[in-house]
């Protein structure tokens, strides 16, 4: 999904929330997913202080929210496209 597409309900890019912080508004799905993978890898590797682990966890939660929002936007677009295909064609003669 391209980052420049817009959510038909809100007019914002899927994965962005008009009231969200700059991180959510500026980051695409792939970037959030890749960063989340790295956060998980670092947490699983251990060797970080409690403060660092907590910061990583919080960042991971933010990134997961961004990914979830993008995926929900994609699902809504797919559902709308499927509904459009299933709608019977009208003959406006």
Do 6 and 62 touch, CB atoms closer than 8 A?
no
pLDDT band at 88 (very low <50, low <70, confident <90, very high): confident
pLDDT digits (tens, 9 = 90+) for 64-86: 999 999 999 999 999 999 999 99
* Percent of the chain with pLDDT strictly greater than 90: 62
Count of CA atoms in the C-beta half-sphere (13 A) of 48: 16
The whole-model pTM stands at 0.65
pLDDT surpasses 60 at 4: no
Structure tokens at 13: 């890019």
């Amino acid at each position: 999904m391209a980052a420049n597409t817009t959510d038909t309900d809100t007019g914002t890019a899927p994965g962005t929330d008009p009231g969200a912080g700059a991180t959510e508004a500026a980051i695409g799905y792939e970037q959030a997913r890749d960063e989340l993978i790295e956060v998980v890898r670092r947490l699983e590797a251990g060797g970080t202080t409690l403060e660092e682990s907590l910061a990583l966890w919080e960042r991971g939660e933010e990134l997961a929210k961004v990914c979830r929002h993008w995926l929900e936007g994609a699902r809504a677009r797919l559902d709308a496209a499927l509904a459009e295909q299933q709608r019977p064609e009208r003959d406006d003669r």
